[in-house]
């Protein structure tokens, strides 16, 4: 595996590879990331991963400074997963002096995470556009856990005619249901024990949907009620939305995204499930 920290070196290495899948990450890799790398290898023949903790997608009071990092471990895991290239730029390489452009993806980026984290998706879209331009992969792989991020990136790729296929991998969970996230490392053992409540709450919406419930308000209330059983969980939002536009819906048709953000102490966790009538 080649490890490259400059755009020039990455581009030179990329020229020697045919079909390539890119897995953009912020590092501190877990099985969710690695499953995307393995899938990229299997589907494209070669995989690249980027590791870049992108300052532009963090708000002023968020966790940029304490975001977990372990580059030697990440590189070992990427190599084991079969990646050919690891792109590990520093902030000056991605945002050199004078950098000014921001991508605003519009309405899909506004509700839910976009409302809770102003500027977040503009930061995500801008860095992902840059990574796609730098690496020029045939396919780019993202996790369904960040469902709104997926919708934002799909919108941007379509609107800007970026020649890449966006591929989405299922959320990878611990056996007790907690969705894997680099931020899970912030949880104390007591908080970690409470965290599966997020997935349990989403499953209560799934169960209602399976029993025929189609009113979004009823599904939302059920998720709130399940989360409300634990006073340590502070709910940021529960959304029932169109998975492509992220618009809130009143009645679930064929598909809907039920998503939530919850604070457990200082840690903010997100999760979602897709309800599908088929």
**Contacts of 258 by beta carbon, 8 Å cutoff, 6+ apart:** 202, 205, 206, 219, 220, 223, 238, 239, 240, 272, 273, 274, 275
- Between 10 and 223, name the residue whose CB sits nearer to ligand PAF: 10
Which is it for the CA torsion 142, 148, 149, 150, positive or negative? positive
Single out the residue of 14, 22, 25, 30 in contact with ligand PAF (rule: CB under 6 A). Answer: 25
Site for ligand PAF in 147-176 (CB under 6 A): 149
- Between 84 and 149, name the residue whose CB sits nearer to ligand PAF: 149
Q: Residue 127, interface with ligand PAF (CB under 6 A)?
A: yes
Kind plus residue range of the DSSP H or E element containing 83: none
User: Quick one: which segment of 19-27, 37-45, 193-201, 224-232 binds ligand PAF (CB under 6 A)?
Assistant: 19-27
Site for ligand PAF in 34-73 (CB under 6 A): 54, 57
DSSP assignment, residue 251? B
Written as six digits, the tokens of 161 are 């005619």
Q: Which residues pair with 270 in a beta bridge?
A: 261
Nearest distance, CB of residue 213 and ligand PAF, angstroms: 31
C-alpha torsion 122→126→128→132, nearest 10:
150
Q: How many residues does the chain have?
A: 278
- Between 75 and 226, name the residue whose CB sits nearer to ligand PAF: 75
User: Quick one: which segment of 23-31, 92-100, 204-212, 229-237 binds ligand PAF (CB under 6 A)?
Assistant: 23-31
H-helix segments, 30-85: 31-44, 71-81
Q: Residue 24, interface with ligand PAF (CB under 6 A)?
A: yes
Nearest distance, CB of residue 58 and ligand PAF, angstroms: 10
User: Quick one: which segment of 67-75, 93-101, 107-115, 121-129 binds ligand PAF (CB under 6 A)?
Assistant: 121-129
Q: Residue 29, interface with ligand PAF (CB under 6 A)?
A: no
User: Quick one: which segment of 122-130, 190-198, 221-229, 233-241 binds ligand PAF (CB under 6 A)?
Assistant: 122-130
Written as six digits, the tokens of 79 are 């190599």
CB 21 within 8 A of CB 38: no
**Contacts of 240 by beta carbon, 8 Å cutoff, 6+ apart:** 205, 216, 219, 220, 248, 249, 252, 256, 257, 258
Q: Residue 241, interface with ligand PAF (CB under 6 A)?
A: no
Single out the residue of 10, 47, 128, 223 in contact with ligand PAF (rule: CB under 6 A). Answer: 128
Count, residues near ligand PAF per rule CB under 6 A: 10
Nearest distance, CB of residue 131 and ligand PAF, angstroms: 8
Work out the number of other CB atoms within 10 angstroms of the CB of residue 177: 15
What distance, in Å, lies between the first and last C-alpha atoms of the chain? 42
User: Quick one: which segment of 18-26, 35-43, 79-87, 92-100 binds ligand PAF (CB under 6 A)?
Assistant: 18-26
Round to whole Å and give the CA distance between 43 and 34: 14
Written as six digits, the tokens of 264 are 């457990």
Nearest distance, CB of residue 153 and ligand PAF, angstroms: 7
In the complex, which residues of this chain contact ligand PAF (CB under 6 A)?
24-26, 54, 57, 124, 127-128, 146, 149
């Amino acid at each position: 595996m080649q490890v490259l920290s400059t755009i020039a070196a990455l581009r030179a290495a990329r020229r020697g590879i045919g079909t390539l899948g890119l897995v953009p990450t912020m590092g501190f890799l877990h099985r969710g990331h690695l499953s995307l790398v393995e899938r990229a290898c299997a589907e494209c023949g070669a995989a690249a991963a980027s590791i870049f903790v992108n300052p532009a997608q963090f708000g002023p009071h968020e966790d940029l400074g304490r975001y977990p990092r372990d580059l030697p471990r990440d590189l070992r895991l990427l190599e084991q997963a079969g990646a050919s290239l690891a792109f590990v730029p520093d902030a000056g390489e991605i945002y050199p002096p004078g950098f000014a452009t921001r991508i605003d993806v519009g309405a899909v980026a506004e509700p839910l995470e976009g409302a809770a984290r102003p500027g977040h998706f503009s930061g995500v879209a801008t860095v992902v556009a840059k990574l796609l331009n730098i690496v020029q992969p045939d396919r780019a792989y993202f996790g369904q856990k960040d469902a709104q991020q997926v919708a934002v990136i799909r919108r941007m790729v379509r609107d800007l005619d970026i020649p890449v296929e966006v591929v989405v991998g299922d959320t990878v969970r611990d056996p007790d249901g907690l969705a894997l996230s680099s931020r899970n490392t912030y949880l104390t053992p007591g908080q970690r024990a409470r965290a599966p409540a997020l997935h349990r709450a989403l499953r209560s919406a799934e169960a209602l949907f399976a029993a025929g419930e189609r009113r979004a308000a009823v599904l939302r209330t059920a998720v709130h009620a399940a989360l409300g059983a634990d006073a340590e969980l502070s709910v940021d939002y529960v959304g029932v939305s169109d998975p492509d536009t992220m618009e809130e819906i009143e009645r679930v048709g064929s598909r809907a995204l039920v998503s939530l953000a919850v604070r457990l102490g200082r840690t903010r966790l997100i999760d979602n499930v897709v309800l599908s009538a088929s």
